[in-house]
């Protein structure tokens, strides 16, 4: 009798387990688990953003033209895939509180479908504050609704810019730095959770201008990338001030979570081609998101060749996902190096001065043997080190970028 009782209890347990497993498998068939950060952004995101060139003037026609040009120019084939509308697309909220685009973007879902039809992905912009930096409606108090709207429209990427939420924090926290930080974290985490709850994979780009060591906590609140600086502009002075100031941040970047020294200005006209090569090389060594900021529908061949240099893009997109750092500096000359998969190393030799300078790169600076193999990634040709040293003249504000293999 006792035996019978035990076996029916066991049977009941098996039956219960079966029901649980069945439920679990039905659930997983309905809703896939949200991708991990490393799945969402395994390498630094590449794309285009409207702000640097179009700023507040951007409209649907500009974005369609950018998307089309991304494909026809060869940018997409080189790895660029996100088309991101920055600030000034926002219109009014309806009676239920859902956001609608303004008259510059009469059909957002249609525009996004067009971008997707080209094989590209689409990004949008908002703020945790009531107003964006350009004064348009932000997501304050509507975070969940906005995340749902973005998911419904087919958005794949969100840039979330602190803007007026900074004032709310300041009013509430005053000089209490711990409270200030806690409020920033909570604001970003809130939107991250809202995005996650939609089930749609959406890359989360944090923009709070690199304050409060965001690189230490950005990943913890769901950021896939976070700005490490204030805004870039189209001058060598600003680009160099930002780029060469990124030393020491490498350990905070990796697959799924990237330091973002702001978008590219390549092709916007304020720098020389050599300065733009410096910009592109430095961003690649920094494993920075490569978000072009020029008018893709009106690029010169040189601009296109800088943005799509496969060997330089490959450094940025290297699957090891290590950010580079400065290894040597003397006066206006700097040498930066980035470890690559398979034990190779990308090396940038930079001259920040107004005059040309000769620099000597020693293989020992990166712990490589004298016989290592060198390739110039802008000339696309192999070059030769002599006795473990490579000496070369760098133009003013110029660069030589090398790949070093053992």
Residues designated as active site: 161, 231
132 or 303: whose CB is closer to ligand GLA?
Answer: 132
- Which CB sits closer to ligand GLA, 132 or 259? 132
Residue 206 or 280 with smaller CB distance to ligand GLA: 206
Among 51, 89, 160, 336, binds ligand GLA (CB under 6 A): 51
- 292 touches ligand GLA by CB under 6 A: no
131 binds ligand GLA (CB under 6 A): no
Report the nearest approach of ligand GLA to the CB of residue 405 (Å). Answer: 37
**Contact region with ligand GLA (CB under 6 A), list: 126-134, 213-221, 318-326, 365-373:** 126-134
Question: What are the strands, taking DSSP E only, across 36-77?
Answer: 46-49
x/- site string to ligand GLA, residues 1 to 40, per CB under 6 A?
Answer: ----------------------------------------
Applying CB under 6 A, the site for ligand GLA has a residue count of 9
- State in angstroms the smallest separation of the CB of 259 from ligand GLA: 15
Q: Say how far apart CA 161 and CA 180 lie, in whole Å.
A: 16
Is residue 134 within the footprint of ligand GLA (CB under 6 A)? Answer: yes
CB-CB neighbours of 19 under 10 Å: 10
Q: Does 231 bind ligand GLA (CB under 6 A)?
A: yes
Q: Which of residues 140-179 bind ligand GLA (CB under 6 A)?
A: 161
The CB-of-124 to ligand GLA minimum distance in angstroms stands at: 11
Residue 35 has what DSSP assignment? Answer: P
How far apart (Å, rounded) are the C-alpha atoms in residues 367 and 187? 43
Specify the residue, 161 or 318, whose C-beta has the smaller distance to ligand GLA. Answer: 161
121, 194 in Cβ contact below 8 A?
A: no
Q: For ligand GLA, which is the closer residue by CB, 59 or 231?
A: 231
Is the Cβ–Cβ distance between 143 and 128 less than 8 Å?
yes
- DSSP letters, 99-161, are EEE-TT-TTHHHHHHHHHHTT-EEEEEE-SSSB-TTSSB--TT-HHHHHHHHHHHT--EEEEE
Residue 134 vs 249, nearer CB to ligand GLA: 134
Single residue of 78, 207, 333, 346 touching ligand GLA by CB under 6 A? 207
Contacts of 121 (CB under 8 A, 6+ apart): 47, 81, 82, 83, 115, 156, 157
Q: 242 with 233: CB under 8 angstroms? A: no
Instruction: Using alpha carbons, select from 397, 327, 395 the residue that is nearest to residue 362.
Output: 327
**What's the rounded Cα separation, in Å, for the pair 280 and 313?**
9
CB of 210 to ligand GLA, least distance (A): 10
Smallest gap from Cβ 280 to ligand GLA, in A, equals 19
Nearest to 77 by CA among 86, 85, 69: 69
Among 37-45, 130-138, 150-158, 339-347, the segment contacting ligand GLA (CB under 6 A):
130-138
What's the closest the beta carbon of residue 123 comes to ligand GLA, in angstroms?
12
The correct pick among 60, 62, 86, 90 for binding ligand GLA (CB under 6 A) is 86
Closer to ligand GLA by Cβ: residue 50 or 351: 50
Instruction: Count Cα neighbours of 95 within 13 Å in the Cβ-side half-sphere.
Output: 0
Among 133, 284, 299, 315, binds ligand GLA (CB under 6 A): 133
372 CB-near residues (< 8 Å, 6+ apart): 363, 385, 388, 404, 405, 406
Q: Please state, as a whole number, how many other Cβ atoms lie within 10 Å of the Cβ of residue 62.
A: 18
Contact 232, 213 (CB under 8 A): no
**What whole-number distance in Å separates Cα of residue 324 and Cα of residue 322?**
6
Q: Which of 60, 62, 87, 295 binds ligand GLA (CB under 6 A)?
A: 87
207 neighbors 162 (Cβ within 8 angstroms) = yes
Select the span of 127-135, 269-277, 278-286, 341-349 touching ligand GLA (CB under 6 A): 127-135
Residue ranges in contact with ligand GLA by CB under 6 A: 51, 86-87, 132-134, 161, 207, 231
């Amino acid at each position: 009798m006792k035996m019978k009782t035990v076996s029916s209890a066991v049977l009941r347990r098996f039956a219960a387990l079966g029901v649980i497993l069945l439920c679990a498998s039905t659930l997983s068939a309905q809703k896939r688990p949200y991708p991990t950060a490393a799945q969402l952004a395994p390498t630094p995101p590449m794309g285009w953003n409207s702000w640097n060139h179009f700023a507040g003037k951007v409209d649907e026609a500009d974005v369609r033209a950018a998307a089309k040009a991304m494909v026809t120019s060869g940018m997409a084939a080189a790895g660029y895939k996100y088309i991101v509308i920055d600030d000034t697309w926002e219109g009014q909220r309806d009676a239920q509180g859902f956001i609608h685009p303004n008259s510059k973007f009469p059909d957002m879902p249609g525009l996004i479908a067009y971008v997707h039809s080209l094989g590209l992905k689409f990004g949008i912009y908002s703020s945790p504050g009531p107003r964006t930096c350009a004064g348009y409606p932000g997501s304050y108090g509507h975070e969940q609704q906005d995340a749902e709207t973005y998911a419904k429209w087919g958005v794949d990427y969100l840039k979330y810019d602190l803007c007026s939420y900074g004032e709310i924090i300041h009013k509430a926290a005053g000089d209490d730095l711990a409270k200030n930080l806690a409020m920033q974290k909570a604001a970003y985490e809130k939107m991250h959770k809202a995005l996650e709850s939609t089930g749609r994979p959406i890359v989360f780009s944090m923009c709070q201008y690199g304050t409060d060591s965001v690189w230490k906590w950005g990943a913890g609140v769901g950021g896939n990338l976070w700005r490490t600086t204030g805004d870039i502009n189209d001058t060598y002075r600003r680009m160099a001030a930002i780029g060469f100031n990124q030393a020491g941040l490498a350990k905070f970047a990796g697959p799924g979570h990237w330091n973002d020294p702001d978008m590219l200005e390549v092709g916007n006209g304020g720098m020389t081609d050599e300065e733009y090569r410096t910009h592109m090389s430095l961003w690649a060594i920094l494993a920075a998101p490569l978000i072009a900021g020029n008018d893709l529908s009106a690029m010169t061949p040189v601009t296109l060749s800088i943005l799509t240099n496969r060997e330089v893009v490959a450094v940025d997109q290297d699957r090891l996902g290590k950010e580079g750092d400065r290894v040597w500096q003397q006066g206006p000359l700097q040498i930066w190096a980035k470890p690559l998969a398979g034990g190779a190393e990308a090396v940038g030799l930079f001259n920040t001065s107004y005059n040309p300078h000769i620099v000597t790169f020693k293989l020992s600076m990166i712990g490589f043997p004298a016989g290592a193999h060198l390739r110039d990634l802008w000339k696309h040709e192999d070059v030769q080190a002599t006795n473990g040293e490579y000496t070369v003249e760098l133009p003013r504000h110029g660069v030589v970028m090398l790949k070093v293999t053992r």
